[in-house]
Homo-oligomer: A and B are copies of this chain.
Amino acid sequence: MTEAVHHPLCELCQQDGGLLVVKTEKLRVVRVDDSDYPGFYRVIWNDHVAEFTDLATADHVPCLGAVAIVETLVRQHLKPTKVNLASLGNVVPHLHWHVIARFADDKHFPQPIWGQAQRDVDASRWSELRDKLPALDQAIKEALLASVMQRA
């Protein structure tokens, strides 16, 4: 095990970056509290690296495996129209993957959530999906821990 590398001025080194769902030695999954997007998770690498290709090649699979676990379970639980995946990090250059459930009637669809809003959506649209989030969080936690055990 190598020493963890953290940056004193990086907010993803200092904070979880959302509601913590599960944390492993290498990474964590958080859920983003966004009133427009009920199924919005981030997979955040624990060490302070900026780019996906700053990871050791051996870490590509656990990193993207976690993204795939979140995407799979988001699809099963929330049945989104589409899932959006993105690693941007222009503002916070600490490797984090956005995993965002998109719905045809959400605020920005079919634009990316960073684009021009397409419509106003009443928060009640998401209440049924929000009710599913505790079970989804739990499923993500269990699947991610199981995947770590399997590789260990």
**Given known A53-B72, A75-B51, A114-B114, contact A82–B86 (CB-CB < 8 A):** no
Q: Is the CB of A111 within 8 A of B112?
A: no
Q: Is the CB of B115 within 8 A of A83?
A: no
Quote the shortest CB–CB distance from A108 to chain B (angstroms). 9
A109 touches B (CB below 8 Å) = yes
Stretch at the interface among A1-9, A10-18, A87-95: A87-95
Of chain B, the residue at the smallest CB distance from A64 is B64
Which secondary structure characterizes the binding site on chain A?
mixed
Using a CB-CB cutoff of 8 Å, which residues 26-78 of chain A contact chain B?
Answer: 50-53, 57, 60-61, 64-65, 67-68, 71-72, 75
Q: Is the CB of A110 within 8 A of B85?
A: no
Of chain B, the residue at the smallest CB distance from A89 is B82
Q: Is the CB of A60 within 8 A of B50?
A: no
Q: How far is the CA of A112 from the CA of B87 in the complex (A)?
A: 10
Quote the shortest CB–CB distance from A90 to chain B (angstroms). 4
> Measuring CB to CB, which residues of chain A are less than 8 angstroms from any residue of chain B?
50-53, 57, 60-61, 64-65, 67-68, 71-72, 75, 81-91, 93, 102, 109-112, 114-115
Other A-B pairs, 8, CB within 8 Å; known A51-B75, A52-B85, A53-B83: A51-B82, A52-B68, A52-B83, A60-B68, A82-B88, A82-B89, A85-B88, A111-B114
